[in-house]
Amino acid sequence: MDEKILEIRNLSVEYYRRKRVIPAVRNVSLEINENETLGIVGESGCGKSTLALAILRLINLNEGKITSGEILFRETDNGKRPSAGEAGITENKDILKLSEEELEKIRGGKIAMVFQDPFTSLNPVIRIGEQIAEVIRIHQLSIIHPPSPLLRFAKQSGRDCGGRANYQLPIKEKVIQILKQVMIAEPERVYNSYPHQLSGGMQQRVMIGMAISTRPKIIIADEPTTALDVTTQKEILELLKFLRKELSMSIVLITHNFGIICEYTDRVIVMYAGEIIEEGEVKKIFSLPLHPYTQALIRSLPKKGEKPSRLSAIPGQVPDMLSLPPGCKFNPRCEKRMNICLSNEPKLLLVNQRKVSCFLYN
Amino acid sequence: MLLETKNLRKSFPIESKLLRQVIGRVIAVDNASLSLNKGQVLGLVGESGSGKTTLGKIVVGLIEPDSGEIFLQDKNIKNFTRKERAKKIQMVFQDPFASLNPRLSIGTILAEAIRTREQVIGNRQQVEKIKELLNLVGMPTNILSDYPHQFSGGQRQRIGIARALAMQPEIIIADEPVSSLDVSIQAQILNLLLDLKQKFSISYIFITHDLSIVTFLADYILVMYQGNIIEEGKPEEILTKPKDKYTEKLFNSLPKITCQIL
C-alpha cells in the first residue's frame, strides 16, 4: 500500500548552546508510507538523529526545541473499540499539538523507537522480562485478559492497581512470546537475565522486542547496528526486515552506511547540514545519483573486489552547524559549484522521478 | 622479511569480583604467526574480541606477550631498546579523540615525538620539522599552538598520523584508523595512508573489521577468530573462495551495494 501513515511538513528544530543557535533540522518535509522501509542517510551532525527524536517529541527542552512545522500521524481505529461504533475511521493527528497524555499513546505505542546503543538504553538493574512487561503494562492493558473485577477496574481507570501477582502469568506468557518473535533462542533464560548477562546483539533484540510489544505502526531505528559486529549486524537487520513483513509495519532506518541503505530500504532520504538534499527510490538513486554530494559519497566508498590506486574523496570537512555558509550548504565542498550556489539556496524539486535540491537541475 | 612474529600468545587474567583473585584466564591471542615484507599492507580482520588489537599492541610493544618471539629485520626484538623499536614501529590509534593529550598543544605533541628521535635539535629546526610533518598529512602549518579539541575527528587523525611519521618508522600499525570517522572523511584518510606508503615505502598492518576497506587496501589478509589466525591469503582468494566457514560468514554479512553504480 502506498498510503501515507506519517507526514512531516516544514519541520525545523533548533538547539541552543551558549546563546548561539544551532539549526539542526531546517525545513524538512517528508512522508512515510505504510509497509515501507525508509532510509535516512547522512554524516554525523547532519540532523538525522534529531529528526528522529523530533518525530516523537523527544527533543530535550533544555537543549533545544521544535520551532516550526507539523507532524501528522494518520491513526486508524481498526475496530478495537466496538462500543464506540467508529470502526475504521482514520484521523490525522498533529503530534506537535497533542497533549502529553495523548502523546504517550503514540510514543512507544503507535510509533516505537530502537536506539543506537542497547547498553545504555536498557536499565541495568531490572531483569529483561520485567522491562518488556513494563512496556506492555503501560500501553496495552487489554491484552492481559484481566481475571478479576478489580483488574478490570484498573484497566478502565487506566491505573496499575498494584495487583501484580494477578497479572504476572499472562504477561509473562506474552513477554516470552515476544522474545520468541525476536528469535531469542532461550526466551526463559533471557526473561530472567539482567542486561549485562547478554551480548550486544541479544540486547538489541530485546530492544526490538520492546518496540514491537505494542504492535506499533512505525519503528524508528536510529543506527541500530552501529555498536554491533558485522556478523551480528546482518542478523539484526534481517530480523527487522522479517518483522516488518510479519507485523506489517513501516520502518525508518537511520544509518550512515550506504551498504545497509542499499540492501534494506525501499526509499532513501539523503541529508546534509540539516536539510534533505535528495530523496527517492533506492535503486534510482544508486544507479543515478543526481546531487553532487550523493554522487561523491557513493564514489568514495571502496568497492569490494575493485582496487583502484586511490579512492575519490570529498574534499573539506563535515560542515560546522554554527557557521553554515550562505547559499547552498554544500557549496564549499562541491566540485560543480556555480555562482548562483554561493548566494541562493536551492529548493527541493522533483527531477527525474526523485526530489533533489541542486541548481544543476533547476 | 621486515617483521616476523612466531607463535605469539597472550592471555589476560579473569579476576573474581570479591577478592580479585585470578579465577581463570582469557586467551586473547593464541599462537599468532605473521610476516610482513617491505612496502606491504597486511590486513588483519575479525570481529571485536577476536584479538586483533591485542596482536597489534604486542607488535608495537605496548603489551608484553606471554610467549613467542618477534623478529625485526631478522633480529630478535629483545635486542632493540624501546627507543630503537619506536623508531621502527609506530601505531595510529582507533579513537582520535582519546589518543591526543587534550592538555598539550599540537606543536608540543609533535615536538615530543621529534625529540624522541633526535635528541639534539635546535628550536628553529624543530619548528621546521613540525611544519614539514603537518604538510605531509595535509594540515595547515599555523596550528602549532592550537589544542586537540579545536579539531574535527578527521583532522585529529591526521595529527595522529603526523605523530607516527615523526619517528620515520618503517612499519605503521593502524588500528581501525577510520572507523570513528565520517564516510566522506574516511576516503581522505585512506588516501593519505596510501600516499605515505608510496612516498616512504612504509609497511602497514591494517587492523579493521570493515572488509570493503581491507580488500581495497591490503596485499595480504589475515582473518582472526577468538585469538587464532584462522585463514590467510590474498584478498582475491579469500574473497572468492574462503576456506573457513567463519570467513565466509564474515564476508557474507557485509552489506553490499548491490545496485548498479555508474
Cross-chain residue pair B260–A257, CB shorter than 8 Å: no
CATH number for the domain harbouring residue B49: 3.40.50.300
Over residues B213-229, the pLDDT tens digits come to: 888 888 999 999 888 99
Cα dist from A53 to A48, A58, A63, A68, B29, whole Å:
9, 5, 13, 15, 42
Is residue B110 one of the residues assigned to a domain?
yes
Sign of CA dihedral A271, A275, A277, A278: positive
- Count up the domains in chain B and report the number: 1
Task: Give the contacts of B237 (CB within 8 A, at least 6 positions apart).
Answer: none
Is residue B79 one of the residues assigned to a domain?
yes
Helix pair B153-166, B106-117: axis angle to 10 deg: 20
Cα dist from A349 to A278, A298, A340, whole Å:
9, 21, 16
Residues in chain B: 262
Which residues in chain B have their CB less than 8 angstroms from residue A49's CB? Answer: none
B17 touches chain A (CB under 8 A): no
A296 touches chain B (CB under 8 A): yes
Q: Which domain holds residue B127?
A: 3-252
Is residue B262 one of the residues assigned to a domain?
no
In this complex, the residue of A230, A287, A297 whose CB is nearest that of residue B250 is A230
Is residue B101 one of the residues assigned to a domain?
yes
Question: For position B221, what pLDDT does the model report?
Answer: 92
* A188–chain B nearest CA distance, Å: 26
In this complex, the residue of A229, A259, A282 whose CB is nearest that of residue B256 is A259
Task: Give the contacts of A39 (CB within 8 A, at least 6 positions apart).
Answer: A253, A254, A255, A260, A261, A264, A265, A267, A268, A269, A282
* A320–chain B nearest CA distance, Å: 10
Searching chain A, which residue's CA lies closest to the CA of residue B179? A226
Is residue B60 one of the residues assigned to a domain?
yes
What's the rounded Cα separation, in Å, for the pair A44 and B101? Answer: 23
Searching chain B, which residue's CA lies closest to the CA of residue A298? B261
Give me the sheet containing B22-36, strands edge to edge.
B22-36, B3-15, B67-72, B75-76
Over residues A278-319, the pLDDT tens digits come to: 999 998 998 889 999 999 888 887 776 566 677 888 888 888
What's the rounded Cα separation, in Å, for the pair A352 and A288? Answer: 10
Which residues in chain B have their CB less than 8 angstroms from residue A47's CB? Answer: none
Which residues in chain B have their CB less than 8 angstroms from residue A231's CB? Answer: 47, 249-250, 253
For chain A, the distance separating the N- and C-terminal CA atoms, rounded to the nearest angstrom, is 31
Joined grid coordinates for residue B238: 579469500
Q: Tell me what the mean pLDDT of segment A322-338 comes to.
A: 89
Residue A341: exposure state from Cβ atoms within 10 A (0-12, 13-18, ≥19): buried
Question: For position A125, what pLDDT does the model report?
Answer: 94
Joined grid coordinates for residue A58: 523527544
Cα dist from A51 to A27, A34, A48, A107, whole Å:
11, 19, 5, 15
What's the rounded Cα separation, in Å, for the pair A290 and A351? Answer: 9
In this complex, the residue of A229, A307, A318 whose CB is nearest that of residue B48 is A229
CB interface of B with A, residues 163-182, below 8 Å: 182
What's the rounded Cα separation, in Å, for the pair B209 and A231? Answer: 10
Question: For position A148, what pLDDT does the model report?
Answer: 52
Question: For position B153, what pLDDT does the model report?
Answer: 85
Of residues B257 and A130, the one with the higher pLDDT is A130
Cross-chain residue pair A229–B47, CB shorter than 8 Å: yes
Q: Is the pLDDT of residue B140 over 50?
A: yes
Contact pairs from chain A to chain B, CB under 8 Å: 121
Band of residue A86 on the pLDDT scale cut at 50, 70, 90 = very low
Q: Do A143 and A171 contact (CB within 8 A), yes or no?
A: no
Question: For position A81, what pLDDT does the model report?
Answer: 44
Instruction: Name the 3-class secondary structure at A90.
Output: strand
A234 touches chain B (CB under 8 A): yes
Q: Give Dmax (Cα) for chain A.
A: 75
Q: Do A207 and A122 contact (CB within 8 A), yes or no?
A: yes
Q: Smallest Cα–Cα separation from A32: which of A243, A224, A182, A216?
A: A216
What's the rounded Cα separation, in Å, for the pair B45 and B218? Answer: 11
Q: Tell me what the mean pLDDT of segment B20-34 comes to.
A: 87
Question: For position B261, what pLDDT does the model report?
Answer: 39
Taking the CB of residue B201, how many other CB atoms lie within 10 A of it?
Answer: 11
Searching chain A, which residue's CA lies closest to the CA of residue B195? A310
Which residues in chain B have their CB less than 8 angstroms from residue A232's CB? Answer: 47
* A277–chain B nearest CA distance, Å: 16
Is residue B150 one of the residues assigned to a domain?
yes
Residues in chain A: 362
Is residue B259 one of the residues assigned to a domain?
no
Q: Do B48 and A200 contact (CB within 8 A), yes or no?
A: no
In this complex, the residue of A231, A287, A306 whose CB is nearest that of residue B262 is A287
Question: For position A304, what pLDDT does the model report?
Answer: 62
Q: Tell me what the mean pLDDT of segment B70-85 comes to.
A: 90
What's the rounded Cα separation, in Å, for the pair A158 and A137? Answer: 10
A233 touches chain B (CB under 8 A): yes
Over residues A156-208, the pLDDT tens digits come to: 554 554 444 444 567 888 899 999 999 998 999 999 999 999 988 899 999 99
Is residue B257 one of the residues assigned to a domain?
no
Torsion of CA B245, B251, B252, B254, to 10 degrees: 150
A271 touches chain B (CB under 8 A): no
Q: Give Dmax (Cα) for chain B.
A: 62
